[in-house]
Amino acid sequence: MFDSLKPALDYRTSPKNVSIQRAIELVARVSEPLLASDHPRLPRPELIQSMRTSLQLPNNRFRFFPAAWVSGFNGVGRETIVHEYNRDFVPNGHGVTIEVNEATLPRQLLLRIESEGFGVSQQRLEELQATIFESETHAIADTIERLVEAGNYLILRHGRIVEERIELPEWLDDVVNALVPATRSKLFIISQMPLPSERRVRCHERIETQRVPTIDAGALRTYCDQLIAHFDNHPERWTDDVVDQIVSAASGNIGFLVSLVRIASRVEDFDQLNTLISAVGAPMAEQMAVYVRWAFTELTEFPDEQRTLIFLNDVTPCDTSDLERVVKPRRPILRVLGKLLELGLVEREAENLYRLTPLLATKLNRELLRPELLDWQRKALIEFVDKPIEFETPDHEFLRIESRIQAALISGREQLPDNVARYVSAAHWFQAGIRLYHANRHEAANRLLKKAFEHRQEFVQSTRVEIIRYYCLSATRLRDYLEAEKCIALLGSDHRTNAMAAFLRGNLHESKGEYPDAIKCYEQALDPNQGRNSRLEHTYRPLIATILRMSRPDFRKAERYALAHVRLRRTIFSLKSLARVYLHWKYRGAEVGRDAPSDISQRCGNALDDLANHPGVDSAHFEICAEEAEFNGDPTRALAYMDQA
């Protein structure tokens, strides 16, 4: 064998004295595609046919809409449907998938397409960075046309900085309108949100929609049997009751079902299923909260896997060679990723590229907040930025550059190597600023958000609004009230953002301790936000908390808002708000002249029980118990509860 391989030495691309570590990396690059195991796919021919019919231009059987907006929840198989649909047109075609969000800028997307779609060199990336204007959209359309001519197609996946409800930038409409109808569609935008009507009007005869629904229990059960046969060497041990439990927990979501069956097939005793899933019939969000907590518990003895997760939480997606250098695992990185793939916590984006599973990522964020992990993360981010990039292959070059930009800004580094610094844009400042704000690192967040605020004209209207909102919130946290007032004035001058201005003014008054004014402003923000559940939730929480901070709270008003909050969504936050209202009414009512109802103890007890029984409760119940112990003048017991929290 070695004699046969000797001629290959004449064409070697690695140094002559290869280290063991380098040899492992080379072997990993060859073996990674071979190790990627797939599972049975759920055929959905009716959706493929529906997509083909809807994307075909009226009165022309050979022409299709150049763009498609494919919506549906994470995990229902949107991307799989797109790949299956394109197989009819280009059997050997490759779908280039790129994540975009509300802060993405045109030149940034162009560089990503050139890198992921054509594997251009770093030198070519530098040329494009220097010659293409930041707001150039026609260059993107031209690049998509070249991608299609090469027999491929582009998928833009609507990602999140914090949440996916923020619309994608309007300049994408210019890209869509610049594409010419042809014998197949060229661009597929995948989002949880349906296509906004204004966007449909702006892109008339250039974009069509397809909704990918969840699966009914009957179809999901049949598919569940296929997965069991694939994952379990002894499928006959699965009783009908166990299958029903798993199908019920999946709540019609294919991706979650695959994760549940994959793990359950490795469980020896099905009595353990109760620790894997919530009660039968519970909402999917609750099922996922329970599952993620269980999965993270399974990693207690696997520090390399935990470190990989927390790094991917900030730098995602990430190349395996970068992960290997940062995590420095005791086992090959593919073994580490294999464990996380098995638990459904990460997924393979492309060859040598991994990311947190979007379906579970928001639930996972809370489990990663461990002191020892956060200490390691801070050091790892700085070390990652300081190490020069080693481009062994032309794969994912721009993505790996952006990974270092992300890591540098989140770690607070001001200086970056020249070959990375030239690519930093207002989009990077904005994204990192939001992440830092939600991590309660307000000074660092404010520095970056201020830069984004000063360059807000580079963004479209919807993104400018978010920049102003976050800059205002960070300025308020730092008591820079003049800057916050400036932001509120900007939003208040536009009828579309009046409700947001009212909320931010309430937040400003609350920060100053001006509670009556804060309550008035929060109440002004409620009516315009009717029907926008996420905005209402974020308004109810501070409104109720501010009422309880008053010297003489109006408990009946607080109860009315807390019950409305619970009716809107039964979450930890809404149940905790209701429990706090009853707790304060019970212990402070008589003192402030607001007599409590005769059954206040029962109401308080019921609210605490509801909170304690919520699957995602974590520390909230203990926090309320600690507060009750304080009211009872028992600081020792209060501290004991806070230790549990």
Cβ neighbour number for residue 598 with a 10 Å cutoff: 7
Select from 238, 354, 366, 245 the least CA-distant residue to 295: 366
- Across the range 491-504, mean pLDDT stands at 92
Judged against a pLDDT cut of 80, whether residue 166 lies above it is answered with no
79 pLDDT tier (thresholds 50, 70, 90): very high
pLDDT score for 34:
61
In degrees and rounded to multiples of 5, residue 344 shows phi and psi of: 80, 20
What does pLDDT average to over the chain? 89
pLDDT (0 to 100) of residue 184: 95
Instruction: Read off the pLDDT of residues 194-218 as tens digits, 9 standing for 90 and up.
Output: 998 889 999 988 999 999 998 888 8
User: How far apart are the C-alpha atoms of 588 and 2, rounded to whole Å?
Assistant: 84
**Residue 392's pLDDT band (cuts 50, 70, 90):** low
pTM for the whole thing? 0.82
Report yes or no: 243 and 228 within 8 Å, Cβ to Cβ: yes
Amino acid (one-letter) located at 39: H
Q: Is 640 exposed, middle or buried (0-12, 13-18, 19+ CB in 10 A)?
A: middle
CA dist 6 and 557 (Å) reads 83
Contact 642, 600 (CB under 8 A): no
Q: Kindly write down the DSSP assignment for every residue of 36-88, as one continuous string.
A: ---------HHHHHHHHHHHBPTT-TT-B-SEEEEE--TTS-HHHHHHHHHHT
| % of the chain with per-residue pLDDT over 70 | 97
- Answer whether 105's CB lies under 8 Å from 458's CB: yes
CA distance 272 to 264: 9
Range with lowest mean pLDDT among 96-100, 161-165, 211-215: 161-165
Q: What is the pLDDT of residues 414-431, one digit of tens each?
A: 778 777 888 998 999 999
Q: Write out pLDDT tens, residues 431-490.
A: 999 989 988 889 999 999 999 999 999 888 888 999 999 999 999 999 999 999 999 999
Amino acid making up residue 615: P
Cis peptide before 43 (omega within 30 of 0): no
């956060």: which residue's tokens?
374
Per-residue model confidence (pLDDT) at position 282: 75
pLDDT at 231 exceeding the cut of 70: yes
- How many CB atoms within 10 Å of residue 406? 21
pLDDT of residue 552: 92
Residue 548 is predicted with a pLDDT of 95
DSSP-derived pairing of the beta strands 318-319 and 95-100:
unpaired
CA atoms of 249 and 258, how far apart (whole Å): 11
Q: Which residue has the tokens 């009853």?
A: 582
* Residue 610 CB coordination number (10 Å): 18
CA distance 439 to 433: 10
In this prediction, residue 600 carries a pLDDT of 93
| pLDDT reading at 35 higher than 70 | no
- Whether the per-residue pLDDT at 611 is higher than 80: the answer is yes
DSSP state of 189: E
Q: Are 199 and 64 in contact (CB under 8 A)?
A: no
Q: Give me the mean pLDDT over the 484-508 stretch.
A: 94
Cα distance between residue 298 and residue 248, in whole Å: 23
Report, as an integer, the average pLDDT of 218-229: 91
Task: Give the C-alpha separation, 636 to 596, whole Å.
Answer: 27
Predicted local confidence at residue 78, as pLDDT: 93
Say what the pLDDT of residue 560 is: 95
pLDDT digits (tens, 9 = 90+) for 267-318: 888 877 878 887 777 777 778 888 888 888 889 899 999 999 999 988 888 9
Please identify which residue in the block is written with the tokens 């607080």: 558
Instruction: Report the Cα–Cα distance between both ends of the chain, in Å, rounded.
Output: 61
Q: Which of 224, 223, 195 is nearest to 208 (CA)?
A: 195
Q: With 70 as the cut, is the pLDDT of residue 188 above it?
A: yes
CA-nearest of 615, 541, 619, 538 to 283 is 615
Neighbours of 587 (CB within 10 A): 17
Q: Looking at residue 394, what is its pLDDT?
A: 64
- What is the residue whose two structure tokens read 């309320």? 624
**How many Å apart are CA 247 and CA 261, to the nearest integer?**
9
List alpha helices for 180-253, DSSP H: 197-202, 217-231, 240-250
Residue 534 pLDDT exceeds 90:
no
Residue 525 to residue 506: CA distance in whole angstroms: 9
More confident: 285 or 493: 493
* Residue in the structure block whose two tokens are 């449909």: 200
pLDDT of residue 574: 93
Q: Check residue 36 and give its pLDDT.
A: 62
Q: What is the mean pLDDT of residues 354-360?
A: 84
What average pLDDT score do residues 552-578 get? 93
Tell whether the model's pLDDT for residue 635 goes beyond 80.
yes
Q: Are 577 and 540 in contact (CB under 8 A)?
A: yes
The pLDDT confidence band at residue 132, using thresholds 50, 70 and 90, is: confident
